[in-house]
Amino acid sequence: MLAAVFQRARQLKLIDRKPEAAIDSTGLEVRHRSRHYAWRAGGNRLIWTSWPKLTVVCHTRTHLWAAAVASQGPSQDSGQFPEAMYQAGTNVRWDRLLADAGYDGELNHRFCHEVLGMRSTVIALNPRNRGRKWPKTPYRRRMKHPPNRQGYGQRWQVESSFSRNKRLLGCCLRARRPESQQRECLLRVLTHNLMILRR
């Protein structure tokens, strides 16, 4: 279905000549109340220990989502990177990828360049990776040079797309079982894309 969405987007000339992607993840609620209310009502006893997590690859120009991986949080973001990027690569031939420090890793750079054929990857260096001032590996070392980080400011487009999705569809899932929650997350992705195409 995502392939059909992007085929239609190309027909509408929404996909630019050098498409840019941004990857990120967000958590969704499983109850119809805010975390602030839960904290005020019962303190730490009501803070949830796990939640549905949705990782998407967003086309920064249109906010269309080219890939979606539903999982359970909290978890390290980088684990969903290969699956999400491979899925996105089947729908669009990306020119550049933007990602925050949660996806910092030489293997992620290499996957994009050598498997998906991307020209550029801009993945912020994780400040928690202490040790050498200059990374040993070539792709991560490039991130130390300002010219190689040009355009990183557009990464906020994926955050904006999450905000748009939650504002229009709500931030709470109706499903209760993890398997059903994952299916509902994927339906949200399709609905998100169809709303953009209709507009």
* Residue located via tokens 């906020």: 156
How far is it, in rounded angstroms, from Cα 82 to Cα 108? 7
From the list 29, 47, 28, 64, the residue with the least C-alpha distance to 161 is 64
Which residues partner with 155 through β-bridges?
none
pLDDT score for 77? 87
pLDDT score for 82? 96
* pTM listed for this prediction: 0.86
Whichever domain contains 57, its CATH number is: 3.30.420.10
pLDDT score for 173? 86
Q: Which residues of 130-169 are buried (b: 16+ CB within 10 A; e: fewer)?
A: eeeeebeeebbebbeeeeebeebeebebbeebbeebeeee
Per residue in 80-94, pLDDT (tens digit) is 999 999 999 999 999
Count of domains in the chain?
A: 1
Per residue in 110-158, pLDDT (tens digit) is 999 999 999 999 999 988 765 557 888 999 999 999 888 889 999 999 9
Q: Which domain holds residue 138?
A: 2-198
How far, in Å, are 17, 49, 53, 80 from residue 181 at the CA level?
Answer: 36, 16, 9, 17
pLDDT over 90 for what percent of the chain? 66
pLDDT score for 152? 94
**Average of per-residue pLDDT values in the chain:** 89
From the list 11, 32, 101, 22, the residue with the least C-alpha distance to 55 is 22
